[in-house]
Amino acid sequence: MAQQFKSLLDSNPEFCQLLNKTQVLSDMQRHFNCVVPAFFAQSSQVLNLQSGVLSIAVGNATMAAKLRQLAPELTALLQNRGCEVSGIRVKVQVSFSGKRPGPTPRKLGETARKTLDEFSRQLEDSPLKLVLKRMGKAKD
């Protein structure tokens, strides 16, 4: 099935162009992910490569500003990897959310639980005392 689909794409010049463009962009995304810090790799996306200018989408202005600062260095790193990139253009696309990892729940150690429990015993009855007791008794 996949082979039939590929032969269909290869037989049509328009599809062949599209296939080549997607392959180039996919390769550029892979190279870009290798040269940027991990956080940027997760939350940015290669949009286009036109006339040597690589367009990157990010989800907010803060990340865009940082990538713009890193652009000359990233351009050199991409060139060292054999990519024909002469510059980087960063675009903010709020609708692009990237792959953000979910928050990791924090866990209290045994010492912390005992300390909270002991402290809650010293308090008078109050909502704070109830919360501290629950936190001290909570298991991971």
Domain ranges of the chain: 2-92, 105-140
- Count CA atoms within 13 Å of residue 21 on its CB side: 10
- Mean pLDDT (whole number) for 25-45: 91
Give the pairing type, strands 44-50 and 53-58.
antiparallel
2-92 is a CATH 3.30.300 domain:
yes
Report pTM. Answer: 0.60
With CA atoms as reference, report the closest residue to 128 among 138, 114, 116. Answer: 116
Residue with structure tokens 């696309």? 93
Which tens digit of pLDDT belongs to each residue from 13-34? 777 787 888 889 999 999 999 9
Which tens digit of pLDDT belongs to each residue from 70-126? 999 999 999 999 999 999 999 998 775 556 667 777 787 888 888 888 888 888 888
Indicate the average pLDDT of the chain: 85
With CA atoms as reference, report the closest residue to 28 among 90, 101, 94, 79. Answer: 79
When pLDDT is cut at 50, 70 and 90, the band that residue 7 belongs to is confident
What pLDDT, on the 0 to 100 scale, is given for residue 97?
56
Three-state SS for 105?
Answer: coil
Q: Which strand ranges, in their side-by-side order, compose the sheet holding 44-50?
A: 44-50, 53-58, 87-92
